[in-house]
Amino acid sequence: MTKSGYSGASRPCAAGNFIFPCSVQYYEPSLSDDAPLIAATLAGDTAAFGRLVGKYQDRLYNSLLRVLGCAEDARDVTQDALVQAFVKLDSFRGSSAFYTWLYRIAFNLAMSHARRGHKMDSLDRAKADWGGEPVDGHASPDADILRREQVELVHAGLAALSMEYRQILVLREIDGCRYEEIAEILALPIGTVRSRLFRARLQLRDYLAPRFHVEKIVDTR
């Protein structure tokens, strides 16, 4: 496990009613997908855990990057989460997917990181860390410029939210997590997840509405 190898590659995607850059469309692995690798790791095969890391580290890093707003912080928290997961693997009971369990470790670490006084970086630094949005070869130059401006505004709006709202938007709108998964990752009742997500969408809408035309940014999914 090293701090290198985080691709950070992104492409635009429409998640809900938001315009966020995201990596790939991740499938939701079942517990049985990872069970053999977990069992092999617990039996002493560290290479098996390396394969688990290979499956999830980029996804986790990209989520933490958008929660923390700094590539260095996201790398550090990702690394720490993976180390903790390895050390604590014998406590994994299999009642949820491995990546949900890993995310809970990582987001707890991210919250602790934020409480120590780390702030979201400036928009310019965040844009450099997130990377530029790919150009659509079929779009006109004006359309591409407009899209870049919109994405930058959404990033700025995300950075303006409190940590509790930012992380829930990242999990739902970028990672596509189900409410049950978010509830487990953040240790919240599902009702709180729904209400907090609704308020987060409202706050992001209020930030974006004066800056560009926003339609139906709040829904009840």
* Per-residue tokens: 167: 């992380």
Q: For residue 159, count other CB atoms closer than 10 A to its CB.
A: 17
19 SS3 class:
strand
Element (H, E) at 124: helix 123-130
pLDDT in tens, the chain (221 residues): 544 444 444 433 433 444 444 443 444 555 568 999 999 999 999 999 999 999 999 999 999 998 998 899 999 999 999 999 999 999 998 888 999 999 999 999 999 988 876 555 444 455 555 454 444 445 556 666 766 777 778 788 888 999 999 999 999 988 899 999 999 999 999 999 999 999 999 999 888 888 766 554 455 45
Given a contact cutoff of 8 angstroms between Cβ atoms, the answer to whether 20 and 174 are in contact is yes
* Per-residue tokens: 33: 């997908």
In order of start, what are the domains of the chain with their CATH numbers?
A: 1-221 (1.10.1740.10)
Q: Maximum CA pair distance of the chain?
A: 57
As a whole number of angstroms, the distance between CA 166 and CA 171 comes to: 9
* Per-residue tokens: 155: 């990033």
Q: Judge if pTM exceeds 0.75.
A: no
In this prediction, residue 155 carries a pLDDT of 80
* Per-residue tokens: 96: 């949820």
In this prediction, residue 129 carries a pLDDT of 52
